[in-house]
Amino acid sequence: MWLRPSPKLVLLGAVLGLPFVIGAVLAFVFSFSADDSAPSALRDSGSEAATPNNAQPAPQPTTTAVVPDLPAPTTEFLQDSLARFVDPAIPADQKVGLVVDGLQFVPLIDSMNTALADYGRITFAVNAVEVQGNQAIAAVEVTTPLTPPIPLRNVTWENSDGTWRLTPSTTCNLLAFGRTSCQNMLPGAVPAPR
């Protein structure tokens, strides 16, 4: 759900500058997940529940679908995908393969590229990658030319056709670096006021 900035946030942006506000907003957005928990790699591990001695094993189904385990992407690969996505020197049509359903994002990526043309280099440090099904979830630290490192939780990629690509929700959050909004593109988005 998209929120309108409060007058206090607008005033804060005017006083402290846009890069500070963008960093704060991104840290806030990435701090929540669908179930409001960090991937297990980021949480303290707990012990498994003990099973009673007289417990019978669960019956096994006679036929099962075998889903191959997907290898975890390397942190270098994920960092590169993030850096290439926000690099304004790379044209939008060359970024399509970095994103799930990338073609729908071309106009927004063009807008972000324009906004970031004179901004400077944005860097990423990917940590604690965990694969859950066809998704990779990581904690990421982002550094911009005008902000200290900002920790982001639950940055996600999806294995699409054998390639790890940024999910639409992560893509929309990254587009915010270029003051570009995915409003009305994702399910549950609130329509823009007219």
Q: What is the dihedral of CA 118, 93, 79, 146, to 10 degrees?
A: 20
Q: Convert the pLDDT of each residue in 15-34 to its tens digit.
A: 345 444 455 444 444 544 44
Work out the pLDDT band at 128, boundaries 50, 70, 90.
confident
Instruction: Phi first, then psi: give them for residue 113, nearest 5 degrees.
Output: -60, -45
Spatial contact of 34 and 1, defined as CB atoms under 8 Å apart: no
How many percent of the chain have pLDDT more than 90?
Answer: 53
Work out the pLDDT band at 185, boundaries 50, 70, 90.
confident
Average pLDDT over residues 115-134: 94
Q: What is the pLDDT of residue 71?
A: 79
Rounded to an integer, what distance in angstroms lies between the CA atom of residue 6 and that of residue 163? 39
Q: Convert the pLDDT of each residue in 58-80 to its tens digit.
A: 555 444 334 456 678 999 999 99
Rounded to an integer, what distance in angstroms lies between the CA atom of residue 101 and that of residue 185? 12
Average pLDDT over residues 107-117: 95
pLDDT at 137 over 80: yes
Q: Is the pTM of this model over 0.85?
A: no
What the chain holds in terms of domains, given with CATH numbers, is 7-34+71-178 (3.10.450.50)
HSE-CB of 50 using CA atoms within 13 angstroms: 3
Q: What is the pLDDT of residue 21?
A: 45
Q: At 20, is the secondary structure helix, strand, or coil? A: helix
Q: What is the pLDDT of residue 81?
A: 97
Q: What is the pLDDT of residue 141?
A: 96
Closest Cα partner for 146 from 111, 124, 122? Answer: 122
Buried b (16+ CB within 10 A) or exposed e, 155-185: bbbbbbeeebbbbbbbbbbbbbbbebebeee
